[in-house]
């Protein structure tokens, strides 16, 4: 209304100009931000920025995944950045910077490129070299990082230093892999599981030599594999597992608040060396703490028979569920037991049928402050006859006791779902942190 007062006309004009200017600025910002929401592929298409570094090639030429961690270092560093402040640091260099090994791993030639720490540039009392890559999107269950490394020390090959691969989520730093070596025999390879870590974490290669050692370190051909949500790792159907050597193709769910532990002490497992998977409730633990072991989605059009042994014992212990998730559908609790089941191993038989790929998981909820939940001897098989053996444990809860002539998983699910599915059985756990109560397993080489 300023224009009514002649003395303020100029000011009013100025304000209108200012308004126009602000409006134009807003439009420009909007235009540039909507422009920013598209990623220009080198092959010409424009795609939503969300496709960048989601572990899947969306551009025709794959340029949306060019700066996404997987790297041969021939043209650039693919998103890996040196974060060391001193000359003792990671640099992308030609392999002929040193006489040994004298060649990179990708091209096996002197002009190939690697990431390199020059050992003679040691700075201060405790030199540290770090390079990092930020993983924006959540990785998949079987996501892993592999790489080739070379450690060379002409003067003190017997002194062992440690190359660490770390996972950094916020302020929490977790070592995923530690390689202790004085000198490698040429290029050596290492692989470590990352798992389905929520997006926004950093991977870091950290090296700090021992006091008197002078070590050149090289990295090459870093790969991140099976990190895309639809990626299927090899042998993903190896779900029958006694846990004696490893977890077969069962994966930790790192989005959960608790981790299953593979262990053999205290409670005897069922097989020779007695390894099993377990969670233990204690007073320092949130009672809603939940751990999940998950499979990769299994192929469709099969009747799948699942049996396993379980042990749920303690004065104040929660529940164990077997959950299936058919692609595009919500999770279904196929089977559940709550509270102590006595100090013994018990047996469960389940039938799962699916016209769609189905993902299976074991979910344990602490539920209290004393007791444990364990599983062992999982057997998963597809049924040729279309039906599974009659259930060998018969209790009223959640079991059909083999009474049906053709056990139907659909019927099973219907019956159990209404009875025992908890309100919180799907969706992320709110209190997730990387520093889960059980922490992450650290792998060590040498």
Burial class (CB within 10 angstroms; exposed 0-12, middle 13-18, buried 19+) of 404: middle
Closest among 268, 289, 271 to 279, alpha carbons compared? 289
| Interaction of residue 66 with Ca ion, rule CB under 5 A | no
Quote the tokens at residue 40. 């220009």
User: Which helix (H) or strand (E) element contains residue 382?
Assistant: strand 370-383
Binding piece for Ca ion, criterion CB under 5 A, among 19-27, 184-192, 231-239, 271-279: 271-279
Beta bridge partners of 262: 277
For Ca ion, which residue has the nearest CB? 106
Q: Where are the beta strands (DSSP E) in 172-330?
A: 172-181, 188-193, 201-208, 216-225, 251-252, 261-263, 276-281, 290-294, 302-316, 319-326
Q: Are strands 216-225 and 113-117 parallel, antiparallel or unpaired?
A: antiparallel
Interaction residues for Ca ion, span 221-250 (CB under 5 A): 242-243
Tell me which of 39, 41, 63, 64 binds Ca ion, using CB under 5 A: 64
| Interaction of residue 103 with Ca ion, rule CB under 5 A | no
Q: How far is the CB of 211 from Ca ion (least distance, A)?
A: 31
Beta bridge partners of 132: 81, 204
Check if the beta carbon of residue 110 is closer than 8 Å to that of residue 103: yes
Q: How far is the CB of 53 from Ca ion (least distance, A)?
A: 7
Binding piece for Ca ion, criterion CB under 5 A, among 7-15, 16-24, 62-70, 251-259: 62-70
Query: What is the DSSP-derived secondary structure letter of residue 9?
Result: H
Tell me which of 45, 58, 225, 237 binds Ca ion, using CB under 5 A: 58
Burial class (CB within 10 angstroms; exposed 0-12, middle 13-18, buried 19+) of 5: exposed
Check if the beta carbon of residue 89 is closer than 8 Å to that of residue 129: yes
| Interaction of residue 383 with Ca ion, rule CB under 5 A | no
CA gap 339, 318 in Å, rounded: 5
CB of 291 or CB of 378, closer to Ca ion:
378
CB of 73 or CB of 413, closer to Ca ion:
73
Output the 3-class SS for 361-381: EEEEECCCCEEEEEEEEEEEE
Q: How far is the CB of 223 from Ca ion (least distance, A)?
A: 12
Q: How far is the CB of 131 from Ca ion (least distance, A)?
A: 15
DSSP three-state, residue 221? strand
| Interaction of residue 376 with Ca ion, rule CB under 5 A | yes
| Interaction of residue 96 with Ca ion, rule CB under 5 A | no
Q: Which residue bears the tokens 């009672």?
A: 287
CB of 254 or CB of 309, closer to Ca ion:
309
Interaction residues for Ca ion, span 133-192 (CB under 5 A): none
Q: How far is the CB of 276 from Ca ion (least distance, A)?
A: 5
Tell me which of 96, 271, 288, 338 binds Ca ion, using CB under 5 A: 271
The residue count for binding Ca ion (CB under 5 A) is 18
Interaction residues for Ca ion, span 282-341 (CB under 5 A): none
Q: How far is the CB of 304 from Ca ion (least distance, A)?
A: 21
| Interaction of residue 106 with Ca ion, rule CB under 5 A | yes
CA gap 223, 350 in Å, rounded: 38
Binding piece for Ca ion, criterion CB under 5 A, among 18-26, 72-80, 164-172, 292-300: 72-80
CB of 275 or CB of 335, closer to Ca ion:
275
CB of 196 or CB of 354, closer to Ca ion:
196
CB of 271 or CB of 417, closer to Ca ion:
271
Question: Across the chain, how many H-helices and E-strands are there?
Answer: 2, 23
Binding residues (CB under 5 A) for Ca ion: these are 51, 54, 56, 58, 64, 72-73, 104, 106, 112-113, 220, 242-243, 269, 271, 275, 376
């Amino acid at each position: 209304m300023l224009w009514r007062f002649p003395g303020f006309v100029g000011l009013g004009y100025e304000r209108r100009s200012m308004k126009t200017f602000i409006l134009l600025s807003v439009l420009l910002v909007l235009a540039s931000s909507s422009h920013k929401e598209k990623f220009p592929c080198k092959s010409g298409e424009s795609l939503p920025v969300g496709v960048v570094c989601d572990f899947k090639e969306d551009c025709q030429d794959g340029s949306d995944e060019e700066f996404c961690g997987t790297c041969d270092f021939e043209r650039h560093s693919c998103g890996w950045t040196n974060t060391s402040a001193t000359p003792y640091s990671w640099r992308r260099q030609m392999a002929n910077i040193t006489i040994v090994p004298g060649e990179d791993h990708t091209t096996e030639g002197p002009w190939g490129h690697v990431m390199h720490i020059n050992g003679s540039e040691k700075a201060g009392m405790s030199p540290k070299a770090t390079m990092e890559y930020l993983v924006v999107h959540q990785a998949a269950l079987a996501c892993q990082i592999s790489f080739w490394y070379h450690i060379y020390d002409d003067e003190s090959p017997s002194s062992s230093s440690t190359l660490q691969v770390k996972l950094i989520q916020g302020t929490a730093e977790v070592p995923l892999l530690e390689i202790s070596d004085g000198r490698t025999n040429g290029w050596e390879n290492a692989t470590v599981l990352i798992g389905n870590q929520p997006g926004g974490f950093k991977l870091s290669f950290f090296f700090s030599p021992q006091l008197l050692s002078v070590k050149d370190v090289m990295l090459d051909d870093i790969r991140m594999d099976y990190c895309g949500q639809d990626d299927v790792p090899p042998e993903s159907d190896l779900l029958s597992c006694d846990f004696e050597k490893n977890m077969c193709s069962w994966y930790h769910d790192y989005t959960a608040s608790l981790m299953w532990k593979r262990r053999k002490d205290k409670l005897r497992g069922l097989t020779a060396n007695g390894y099993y998977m377990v969670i233990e409730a204690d007073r320092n633990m949130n009672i809603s703490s939940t751990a999940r072991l998950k499979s990769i989605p299994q192929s469709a059009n099969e009747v799948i028979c699942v049996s396993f042994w379980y042990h749920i014992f303690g004065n104040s212990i929660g529940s164990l569920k077997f959950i299936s998730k058919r692609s595009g559908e919500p999770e279904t609790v196929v089977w559940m037991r709550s509270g102590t089941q006595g100090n013994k191993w018990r047996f469960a038989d389940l039938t799962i049928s699916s016209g769609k790929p189905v993902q299976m998981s074991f979910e344990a909820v602490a539920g209290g402050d004393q007791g444990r939940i364990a599983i062992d001897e999982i057997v998963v098989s597809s049924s040729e006859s279309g039906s599974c053996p009659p259930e060998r444990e018969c209790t009223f809860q959640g079991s059909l006791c083999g009474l049906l002539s053709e056990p139907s998983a659909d019927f099973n699910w219907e019956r159990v779902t209404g009875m025992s599915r908890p309100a919180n059985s799907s969706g992320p756990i709110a209190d997730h942190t990387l520093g889960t109560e059980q922490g992450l397993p650290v792998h060590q080489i040498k």
